[in-house]
Amino acid sequence: MKLTRKNITFAVLGVAALFAAAAVCGHPVIPAEYFASFGMLPFAMSGETDVLKQIAQLTDTAKAAKEAMDKVKKSHEELDGRISKIGEELKAGQTDAITKAAYQEAVTKVANAEKKLDDLTKEVTELAQKATNALGRANKVKSLGQLAAESEVAKSYRGGVAELCEMEGPLFAKAAITSDAASAGALIEAYRVPGIVTDPDTPLTVRDLFTSVSISSNGIEWVREKLFTNNAGPQAAEGAPKNESGLTFEKMSSSVETIAHWIPISRQVLADVPQLRGIVDGKLRTGLKIKEDEALLFGDGTNGNLLGLVPQATAYVPTGIPAGATKIDHLRWAFLQSSKSKYPATFAVLSLDDWALIQMMKTTDGAYIFGTPTDGAAPRIWGKRVVESFGMDAGDFLAGSSLAATIYDRELVTVRVAEQHADFFIKNMVALLCEERLGFTVERPAAMITGTFPA
């Protein structure tokens, strides 16, 4: 008979049927899980030699196992007969040495048969495992590179032209595979930089100059000193009237203002790109704080704006400053003017340009006045803090005392999202709103000095 794939499959299935019959009889030859490997047989039988050898060994072992099972069955029948005879003799009291010897011989035969069956079971199990592995491997076809690398010609090659291996089936298309769009270019993906590159945030500094107070009202009222006439002096004579000074006050008020902005955004973006929501949240907050800084400096107090520092500040008076004064000298003179209001000067707000020019000032021998370029200390001049403001124009400055103004926070910065706007609900759009409410008071305008550096 010709050894074909079909015949091999039928033969192995016959062996499997034999194993199944043994299991039904109460004498399983191999574990049940190995029967699963036979399900792969029609697909895995590729004709490889190692698979055929293992199947042949499995068939021979199965025949031996069947013979061993027959012996065990026969030995058990003989043992049952001996036990029945011994039972009858025990009832009659006629048990003799010959019966006992026959019984012991039957027990020994059963033990030997069962041991042989156990050995065959282990052998069949091992062969079934190997067959399972081989059947699984048979479906894996080696690549052309593997065949070439494993060929004996490649291992012993010393030069010249040689055929390393051969493989059935077309391997290559007629045209060369390149990164061109007409070839494999569409399969090449560009490297995607993680995240989203955004513009740097503007440093926030003006708010940090002043004390912040939390409130629960929509307005602030305070009493400010309007005029103080100091007539303190010695008593002219005993019983003479003492000097009277004058002090007047005025009631001041400031409203809590709202700074806010919003942007539309789709629900899909919020749901599919959580990182984008974080960026929008951060940008909305940052944009709000930038506008807050501008309002604290330059707000005109109209149309919902805060009344800022510069509109309320006292004009700088350079009268008396020595000739040839530098920007550093003018700042010192402004600090002096602020301190004369009975509030100690604590800060100066400068443009980025002016502070850079001051930092680059040198002595006659070329040494930097403000330390070295590698100095990482916080910006200070005349012992006062320097605030670099993006909103301050070059040439302008503000000097003053942090004790002369207060920020009142009604609501801190919040970001909210809602669908209740126009037709956003039916368009799957949402409104992302960012806002804060605060008030600002300058209790001592004379302590705030604003001016311009001479050209």
Question: Residue 215's domain is classified under what CATH number?
Answer: 3.30.2400.10
- Please tell me whether residues 220 and 115 are part of one structural domain: no
| Higher-scoring residue by pLDDT: 105, 359 | 359
Residue 76, H or E segment: helix 49-92
Residue 172, domain member (yes or no): no
End-of-domain residue from the set 113, 138, 163? 138
Instruction: Please check the confidence at residue 394 and state whether its pLDDT lies above 90.
Output: yes
| Higher-scoring residue by pLDDT: 234, 183 | 234
| Higher-scoring residue by pLDDT: 365, 51 | 365
Number of H helices, E strands in the chain: 11, 12
- Please tell me whether residues 126 and 212 are part of one structural domain: no
Q: How far apart are CA 21 and CA 38, in angstroms?
A: 15
Could you say which DSSP state residue 362 is in? B
- Domain total for the chain? 2
Q: Which of 27-31, 154-158, 229-233 has the lowest mean pLDDT?
A: 27-31
Task: Tell me the backbone φ, ψ of residue 281, rounded to 5 degrees.
Answer: -60, -50
pLDDT (average), residues 298-315 = 96
What's the pLDDT at 52? 58
| Higher-scoring residue by pLDDT: 361, 73 | 361
Contact 120, 113 (CB under 8 A): no
Instruction: Please check the confidence at residue 2 and state whether its pLDDT lies above 50.
Output: no
Tokens of 412: 């801190």
| CATH code assigned at 30 | 1.10.287
- Please tell me whether residues 96 and 222 are part of one structural domain: no
Residue 200, domain member (yes or no): no
| Higher-scoring residue by pLDDT: 387, 205 | 387
End-of-domain residue from the set 138, 160, 181? 138
In residues, how long is the chain? 455
Residue 188, domain member (yes or no): no
Q: Which of 35-44, 143-152, 269-278, 408-417 has the lowest mean pLDDT?
A: 35-44
Classify strands 405-418 and 429-442 as parallel, antiparallel or unpaired: antiparallel
Residue 428, domain member (yes or no): yes
What's the pLDDT at 54? 59
Residue 115, domain member (yes or no): yes
Q: How far apart are CA 50 and CA 138, in angstroms?
A: 10
Highest mean pLDDT among 157-166, 222-231, 309-318, 384-393: 309-318
How many CA atoms within 13 Å lie on the side-chain side of 213? Answer: 13
Tokens 């100690």 locate to: 344
Tokens of 32: 């049940």
- CA distances to 96, 141, 403 from 410, rounded to whole Å, are 114, 74, 20
Instruction: Return the closest-CA partner of residue 291 out of 276, 306, 311.
Output: 306
- Please tell me whether residues 299 and 399 are part of one structural domain: yes
- Mean pLDDT across the chain: 78
Instruction: Please check the confidence at residue 112 and state whether its pLDDT lies above 70.
Output: yes
Could you say which DSSP state residue 141 is in? P
Q: How far apart are CA 298 and CA 310, in angstroms?
A: 6
Residue 109, domain member (yes or no): yes
User: Domain containing 88: what range?
Assistant: 5-138
- Please tell me whether residues 35 and 132 are part of one structural domain: yes
| β-pair partners for 430 | 265
Instruction: Return the closest-CA partner of residue 44 out of 33, 55, 60, 57.
Output: 55
| Higher-scoring residue by pLDDT: 16, 181 | 181
Tokens of 291: 């506008």
Contact 298, 366 (CB under 8 A): no
- Please tell me whether residues 224 and 343 are part of one structural domain: yes
Q: How far apart are CA 26 and CA 75, in angstroms?
A: 16
| β-pair partners for 347 | 385, 400
- Please tell me whether residues 130 and 219 are part of one structural domain: no
- Please tell me whether residues 132 and 256 are part of one structural domain: no
Contact 206, 349 (CB under 8 A): yes
Instruction: Please check the confidence at residue 194 and state whether its pLDDT lies above 90.
Output: no
Residue 165, domain member (yes or no): no
Q: How far apart are CA 290 and CA 201, in angstroms?
A: 9
Tokens of 305: 């704006």
What's the pLDDT at 171? 47
- Please tell me whether residues 133 and 251 are part of one structural domain: no
pLDDT (average), residues 357-376 = 87
Burial of 395 (0-12, 13-18, 19+ CB in 10 A): middle
Q: How far apart are CA 285 and CA 265, in angstroms?
A: 16
Q: How far apart are CA 265 and CA 288, in angstroms?
A: 18
End-of-domain residue from the set 121, 138, 155? 138
- Please tell me whether residues 424 and 327 are part of one structural domain: yes
Q: Is the dihedral angle over the CA atoms 139, 140, 144, 150 positive or is it negative?
A: negative
Q: What is the pLDDT of residues 126-146, one digit of tens each?
A: 666 665 555 554 445 666 667
Q: How far apart are CA 298 and CA 327, in angstroms?
A: 22
Contacts 24+ apart (CB under 8 A), 14-23: 15/55, 15/58, 15/59, 15/62, 18/62, 18/66, 19/62, 19/124, 22/65, 22/66, 22/69
Residue 431, domain member (yes or no): yes
Tokens of 266: 């789709």
- Please tell me whether residues 262 and 388 are part of one structural domain: yes
Q: Per-residue confidence at 229, pLDDT binned at 50, 70, 90? A: very high
- Please tell me whether residues 86 and 218 are part of one structural domain: no
Q: How far apart are CA 424 and CA 418, in angstroms?
A: 9
